[in-house]
Structures are given as structure tokens and as C-alpha cells.
Amino acid sequence: MGAHLILPLPITPHVLVTSDIAFRLSPCSQHIHSRGGMIVNNLSLCYQNKLILAPMVRVGTLPMRLLALDYGADIVYCEELIDLKMLQCKRVVNEVLSTVDFVAPDDRVVFRTCEKEQNRVVFQMGTSDAERALAVARLVENDVAGIDINMGCPKEYSTKGGMGAALLSDPDKIEKILSTLVRGTCRPVTCKIRILPSLEDTLSLVKRIERTGIAAIAVHGRKREERPQHPVSCEIIKAIAETLSIPVIANGGSHDHIQQHLDIENFRQATAASSVMVARAAMWNPSIFLKGGLRPLEEVMQKYIRYAVQYDNHYTNTKYCLCQMLREQLESPQGRLLHAAQSSQEICEAFGLGTFYEETTRELDARRAELLARTPEELGEPAEDSSGVIKMAVKFDRRAYPPQITPKMCLLEWCRREKLTQPVYETVQRPLDRLFCSTVTVAEQKYQSTLWDKSKKLAEQSAAIVCLRSQGLPEGRLGEESPSLHKRKRETPDQDPGGPGSQQPAFPGELCKKPFMALESEMSPLEGR
């Protein structure tokens, strides 16, 4: 995609690829360069005469953004993502989906993007702090075309903590946030505001915003307390456009002005704006951007579902977006099938895409298996070290233990009794399937389960089980007798003392003592919902 290329990276199933290096580099100049494992350029995103998908919570995820681009949108905004949440994220190159994912500690994908949208997607951020905003901008700037600050959302999830429309009452903070971003990131910076109670105050604010050096400003032509049923103030947007020299993006016309593609241009002319940002009209039917006119809703929804499956969108988000498209048809037979769907597969079946789901799932599973099967030489993995790790194929099942009792607790208590240093856990995540593996060190010996878990906490419990079983110690299972810790019969690794979730060892009948593979881990990731 032009000069925006995702280069092949030497990624192993055990190594997270992050952009932490971006925090240590100065803002980039206007030339092609490399940062965080990706080649990027700094050509400014043009905001003149553009059709733009507005940022919408729960709607502006990757499938909807790609669909809008297919139908003619020039620029797409992601949903507002809160700075504190993003700063917990890890940047992970997902080789299965060919995406870049920003993953939270609880394993949720907060923001997912791909090469197809890389030079047209704007990252909208909820923030009330200039330094946090800059840290997030540098985290994502390699993977997006622009950075936007939400200063217009009146909902509580945005205004709490001084974000969203709450910023409109603090021009000093607005100026500091935008100035810091303009100086500190290599991407064009914009903001999205609502109008103030008076035209004079509104013009005073936007002129101050313009002086920060931002590339464009989006204006929702309603006051903070107004809702879609209130008329949008085209005249105030026009006054702003005539006052500023930077592009003004008109927003808020879906209710009264925009029902079809031609209406977008009429709204632009009524506001004298450079570009138009469409929200609800695009949410109802993204083909609003298509010059040839709206496409049948059934066709649009099927195309959306295909993107959702191909990019592993969570079914609850897919379902939400489809419900917004169906609107008054939610009580139709298809609407009822959608309402009852409890998985991506059931959504696909409701829309006659069951075969597509099965084929796509097989393709993704095959790709995942292929990547996981690569040899250490192919992956460029570090060599094994000389310290042995005791391994077993076990998993922690909460149902097999009494309330408040876990293997980690049992292991910690035993170490205290034996006057040993408390257990130390090292946990890594592999990007291919975002599963976790933990290694616990007790008395200078390492223990690890060969089975990967869906969370860091579960992986640590599994590692504790390996240690306890290899030492012949109670692990706290329901119904487990508790004789003296030193008298309990020592179990071989293929003897799992009952309980659901028991697994066969990787090497039946023998204790697997392989040298520990050095695994790299960097712990540093909606309001994405």
C-alpha cells in the first residue's frame, strides 16, 4: 500500500512484538524511516474534500471501517479508545489474521488494524492528559494515518475523568494536549468538538485550537446537551469554516440531512465545510458512501459478516452492528435469528453463510497450525539453555478445587513451611493464539505445563500444579486427603488424581525434563466493546 508496508518480521510463537522503542525516539521527519519493526512514511493525511466514517463506539471496529472504505469512504475513524486502557496494551503482530493487534492484559483486543486501511484510518483517543495522549500516539502512530482527540462526546463514559465534551470547558487543557501531540508525533493531529452555547465563544475556541498546529477540526453542529432529535446548526459550522484556514469537517447531519449519497454533498455545501463526517447514516447502511446509491441491506450485511469472520471480530460486536443495520427489521424472521445467535457461526447461519464460516475457520486454523509448526531455525528462536525445566501436561480447572483454595496458595504455604524463597512466576504470551505459558521457580528448579492457557492467572496455576505434583505434595483438590506433606505418595506425571480437566502428559509415562526454552516477554493494552 504505497510506502506503508508491513515488513516480514522474525516473530516466534513465544515473542511479543511491541513498539516500546517508539517511546524513546524523537518525532519523525518527512521521509521514509523504520520504527518498531515497520516501514512508514509521513505523508500528511489530506482532509480536503473527503467522505469520512465518524468515530462511533462499538461500531467503528475493523470490519465496519473496511466496509466503509469498500463503499467509497476516504477516511475512517476508529471508535473512541481511552488512553489509560491503551497504555496497558501490547502491540502484537498477528500473523494468522495479517493484522496488528493492541492487546489488553486480560487478552482482549482493544484495537485491531490491517494494511488495507493503514494510510486511511484515524485513531480517536479519549484523554484528559497531554503526556498520556502523547504516549498513546507514539504507541500507535506506526499503524495509523492520523491521531484525533475526542472533545465532543457528551456521554458519561467519555466525559468522566474530564474527557470528551468535558474538555470544552477547559481551553487551556485542550491547547496543551493538542500542542503536545503536534510537536511529539509524526502523524497529523485533529480533534472533534461540539459547538458552545454562543457563536462568539465557539469561534474563540476554534481559533485557539487552530493555533496549536492541528491538521483539521471536525465539528458536530450541536451543543453538548443536545441530542440527535435537535436540529444540527449548519450556520455555526459554516461560520467556523469561514473563520479558519485549516479544513473543517462537518458532522451531525444524519438525522435531518443525509439519507442518500447526494445528501452528503448538499450538507457539505450548507456548512461550507471542507469535508463531511457521517455517523448514524453510515451505521445504518455503510453503502451511503457509494456514488451509485445505497446497496440492498442484505448484501451489505453479508459483506460485513464476511469481514467480521475473516478478522475474528467478537460475535457480540458483530451482532450489535448488524442490529443497528436491521433497525425496524429486528422483528423479522432474520432479525429474530440474529437476536438468538450466540456465536459467529450462528450469525453466519442466520444469513446463509454457514459454509463460508466453516471454510474460513478451517483456513485460519490451518494457518495457525502452520505457524506453530515452524522449526526453531525458521522462527529464529533463541537456543535452549542448560537449565532443565520439569514439564507436565496439566491444566488448572477451578471446579476441581474448593472456594478460596488454589495450587498457588498450596505451593506458597509449603515454601513458607520449608523456609524456601517464595515461588517466582515468569509468564509469556504467544501472539499466534494469544495463549499464555508460565514457568515457576522453586528452590532454583523450574516447573512448567506444556499446555498453554487463555489467561496469565490460569497459566500460573498450571505451573504451580506441575511443581506440587513433581514433589508429591497436596494441591488442594476437592476430596483430596491431606496427610503429612512429606508422606504423600509421589506421583508420576501421567497420574492425575482425578477431577475434571485432567490432561495426558506430553510424554506419557515419563517425566519430561527438557532444557528450558528462553522465552522473551515484555510486560507493558474501548472503550472498545
Alpha-carbon distance 63 to 429, whole Å? 25
260: three-class secondary structure by DSSP: coil
Q: Is the pLDDT of residue 287 over 50?
A: yes
Calpha distance 462→451 (Å, rounded)? 8
The cell for 101 is 493487534
Residues of the chain with CATH 3.30.160.20: 389-471
Is a pLDDT exceeding 50 seen at residue 503?
A: no
Can you tell me the distance from the alpha carbon of 86 to that of 278, in angstroms, rounded to the nearest whole number? 25
pLDDT digits (tens, 9 = 90+) for 28-53: 433 333 333 333 334 479 999 999 99
Tell me which DSSP letter residue 55 carries. Answer: P
Contact 222, 194 (CB under 8 A): yes
The 10s digit of each residue's pLDDT in 311-353 is 999 999 999 999 999 998 988 999 999 999 999 999 999 999 9
Q: What's the CA gap between 69 and 80, in Å, rounded?
A: 19
The three cell numbers locating residue 439: 514457568
Average pLDDT over residues 417-437: 89
Q: Which residue has the higher pLDDT, 111 or 451?
A: 111
User: Residue 36 CA to chain centroid, in angstroms?
Assistant: 18
Evaluate if residue 99 carries a pLDDT over 90: yes
The 10s digit of each residue's pLDDT in 239-263 is 999 999 999 999 999 978 999 999 9
- Can you tell me the mean pLDDT for 409-426? 94
Residue 481 has pLDDT above 90, yes or no: no
Residue 249 backbone dihedrals phi, psi, to 5 degrees? -105, 115
Residue 159 has pLDDT above 90, yes or no: no
> Is 153 an annotated catalytic residue?
yes
Give residues with Cβ within 8 angstroms of 333, minimum separation 6.
Answer: none
- Distance from first CA to last CA of the chain, Å, rounded? 29
Q: What is the pTM of this model?
A: 0.68
List, by residue range, all CATH 3.20.20.70 domains of the chain: 50-295
Place of cell 520449608: 418
Architecture of domain 50-295: Alpha-Beta Barrel (3.20)
Across the range 213-230, mean pLDDT stands at 92
Find the catalytic residue in 153, 234, 348, 467: 153
Using an 8 Å Cβ cutoff, are 425 and 479 in contact? no
389-471 folds as: Double Stranded RNA Binding Domain (3.30.160)
- Per-residue pLDDT, averaged over 427-456, amounts to 89
Above 80 in pLDDT, residue 385?
no
- Decide if pLDDT at 26 tops 70: no
Q: What is the mean pLDDT of residues 275-280?
A: 97
Q: Which residues pair with 53 in a beta bridge?
A: 76, 278
